[in-house]
Amino acid sequence: MADLTPFIAGLPKAELHVHHVGSASPRIVSELAARHPDSKVPTDPEALVDYFTFTDFAHFIEVYLSVVDLVRTPEDVRLLTYEVARDMARQNIRYAELTITPFSSTRRGIDEKAFMAAIEDARAAAETELGVILRWCFDIPGEAGLEAAEETTRLAVDLRPEGLVSFGLGGPEIGVPRPQFKPYFDRAIAAGLHSVPHAGETTGPQTVWDALRDLRAERIGHGTSAPQDPALLAHLAEHRIALEVCPTSNLATRAVTDLDRHPIREMVAAGVLVTVNSDDPPMFGTDLNTEYAVAARLLGLDERGVAALAKNAVEASFLDPAGKARIAGEIDAYTEQWLAL
């Protein structure tokens, strides 16, 4: 089969499941570390590649938190956000819903209004200067419990920045049942936000059902275990509830033990709207283009198949209809031009 790498690299794409701090590349972390010399994080990008080599999941969390600790001021927030968009532009990502955990920043003492201003300033600059449309998903860090849920909901509903479109739930699933977050999702949904919790990444299909029934999920973050329940797959397919699949992340966190046995094939075979995403790309040693290449290999796709996958993300996004039509049109035009060569 032809090498799809150059086709994927130039393909206009949308990304629906990617975390803010988790997108900090060694280049960005190095800039942030240089601003805070008291941090133990290296400033040399070469040393950072080693720093980002994880021995296990606990080590990943430790490194992740050390990067969270580098985001201390509204200027850090703006720099991180804008530079993440720059890395997206390099991959021809035209649109991204970036999952932000504002609780991590406000708890560290960043003024909440200044935080919102910083992300919005970066969003405006990313769109005009880089051609990347950003929208936000504010997510509850599930491990921080109901206090974090309350704070995240308040920030989302009361301070709602213009780019905010959705409300999520991340962190560990084991020991953090989804139904307890129902009242917070009810408030966010009533305020007009879309529901996009992580579910079924490290637990079984019941967690996905909980996310659908209690949190009224419109898309599912990961849903890796969904193929264990054919009735669930049929439900997802029938209601066009997209799965945000992040193959390399699933391998890195051991949600799947072998990439070649990733359940993305069963998801697609069942007619589920599957989207491909990168989650915490530099931390998992990947980027969206790599994830598309992985998916293309697993699904045996050609250029048109990859383009269809890219259009799934546009369809499942919360962009307005005109914006969706424009990016889908770009994907088609690029693909036809490529195949005509």
Positions annotated as catalytic residues are: 201
d(CA 196, CA 219): 5
Separation between Cα atoms, residue 159 and residue 46, nearest integer Å: 39
The nearer residue to Zn ion, 218 or 279, going by C-beta atoms, is 279
Nearer to Zn ion, 188 or 331 (CB): 188
The residues, any chain, with a CB within 8 Å of residue 107's CB and separated by 6 or more, are 151
In the block, residue with structure tokens 């998916």: 295
Structure tokens at 204: 């079984």
Residue nearest to Zn ion (CB): 279
Closest distance between Zn ion and the C-beta of residue 304, in Å?
Answer: 29
Q: Give the contact letters, 222-261, x = binds to Zn ion (CB under 5 A), - = no.
A: ----------------------------------------
Smallest separation (angstroms) from Zn ion to the CB of 321: 27
Nearest distance from residue 21's CB to Zn ion, in Å?
Answer: 11
Closest by CA position to 309, among listed 284, 328, 283: 328
> How far is 54 from 33, CA to CA, in rounded Å?
19
Cα first-last separation, the chain: 17
What is the length of the chain? 341
Least distance to Zn ion, CB of residue 15, Å: 12
48/106 Cα distance (integer angstroms): 26
Q: Number of residues interacting with Zn ion: please give it, by CB under 5 A.
A: 1
How remote is the C-alpha of 169 from its chain's centroid?
12
Nearer to Zn ion, 120 or 279 (CB): 279
Nearest residue (CB) to Zn ion, 173 versus 279: 279
* Nearer of residues 4 and 316 to Zn ion, judged by Cβ: 316
Could you tell me the smallest distance in angstroms from the CB atom of residue 279 to Zn ion? 5
Per CB under 5 A, which region of 73-81, 123-131, 228-236, 276-284 contacts Zn ion?
Answer: 276-284
CA distance 263 to 225: 8
User: Taking the alpha carbons of 19, 56, 282, 105 in that order, is the dihedral positive or negative?
Assistant: positive
- Minimum CB separation of residue 255 from Zn ion in Å reads 11
Of 5-13, 106-114, 203-211, 279-287, the segment contacting Zn ion by CB under 5 A is: 279-287
* Least gap, CB of 171 to Zn ion (angstroms): 9
State how far Cα 216 lies from the chain centre: 19
Of 80-88, 160-168, 227-235, 275-283, which part binds Zn ion (CB under 5 A)?
A: 275-283
Q: Which of 268, 217, 224, 227 has its CA nearest to residue 248?
A: 224
Using the rule CB under 5 A, give the single segment among 255-263, 273-281, 285-293, 297-305 that binds Zn ion. 273-281
The torsion of the CA quartet 246, 193, 226, 16, rounded to 10 degrees, works out to -20
Report whether 259 contacts 298 (CB < 8 A). yes
Binding segment for Zn ion among 131-139, 179-187, 272-280, 333-341 (CB under 5 A)?
Answer: 272-280
**13/17 with CB nearer Zn ion:** 17
Looking at beta carbons only, is 15 or 279 nearer to Zn ion? Answer: 279
- φ, ψ of residue 135 in degrees (nearest 5): -130, 160
Give the interface with Zn ion as residue ranges (CB under 5 A). 279
